[in-house]
Amino acid sequence: MFDLVLGTNNQKKLVELRLLLPADRFTLTTLAEIPESIDVDETGTTFTENAALKATQQAKLLGRWVLAEDSGLTVDALKGQPGVYSARYAGQHGDDEANNEKLLKELEGVPMDRRTAKFNCYLCLSDPDGNVRLEGHGTCGGVIATERSGNAGFGYDPLFVIPEYHRTFGELDLAVKRAISHRSRALRSFVPKLVRLTNQVD
């Protein structure tokens, strides 16, 4: 079993990560279980930079392998906003309600054919010395609705419509979301490389 720290305190992200990582291969620990873990300042200007900051700084502090991710929403009509500021778009980190409200206001009057957007997920694995050993990413395309719909998921899920399903992430069954989400797409391409690397360093 390979000891791996998941570099997030977001419980809903952890559920997705745990389900997609092979349980017979990894012993998974979360930051919430490690009192000495730190809150890393997300000072990067890209998802890639922030994922690397979260992985390498935590790994150096803990002396353990850390898998971190940075994800967010990019809206074409807003020139890629909210981007790396997705979790704190309205000012306060993690205020989903305020973030969704701000997004709706920013897109007021924008027709549906111009409300295209993408969810992005960037992954970074750091070794215990703080060296980036693996990176990966995945995206999921959709359209921003004009009103919230559905109570599942978190963040911008109630506004993010998957055109093929004519439903928001907030309405979709968890199994469907798990199959098509940006995080699952990133992990599906990342996990085989992760397993190969960990086999070499065991």
Residues taking part in catalysis: 70
Question: What is d(CA 202, CA 166) in angstroms, rounded to the nearest whole number?
Answer: 45
Q: Per the annotation, does 119 bind a ligand?
A: no
Q: What Å distances lie between residue 139 and 52, 58, 120, 136, 186, CA to CA?
A: 18, 25, 5, 11, 7
Residue 23 has phi, psi (to 5 degrees) of -65, -25
| Residue 102 marked in a binding site | no
Query: Using CA atoms, how far apart are residues 187 and 159, in angstroms rounded to an integer?
Result: 23
Is 199 annotated among the ligand-binding residues? no
Q: Was 8 annotated as part of a binding site?
A: yes
Q: Is 154 annotated as a binding residue?
A: yes
129 among the known binding-site residues?
Answer: no
Q: Is 165 annotated as a binding residue?
A: no
Is 95 known as a binding-site position? no
For residue 34, the one-letter residue type is I
Q: Residue 63: which region, alpha, beta or left (left: phi > 0; alpha: psi -120 to 50)?
A: left
Class of residue 148 by CB neighbours under 10 A (exposed 0-12, middle 13-18, buried 19+): middle
Q: List binding-site positions for Mg(2+).
A: 41, 70
Q: List binding-site positions.
A: 8-13, 41, 70-71, 154-157, 177, 182-183
Q: List binding-site positions for substrate.
A: 8-13, 71, 154-157, 177, 182-183
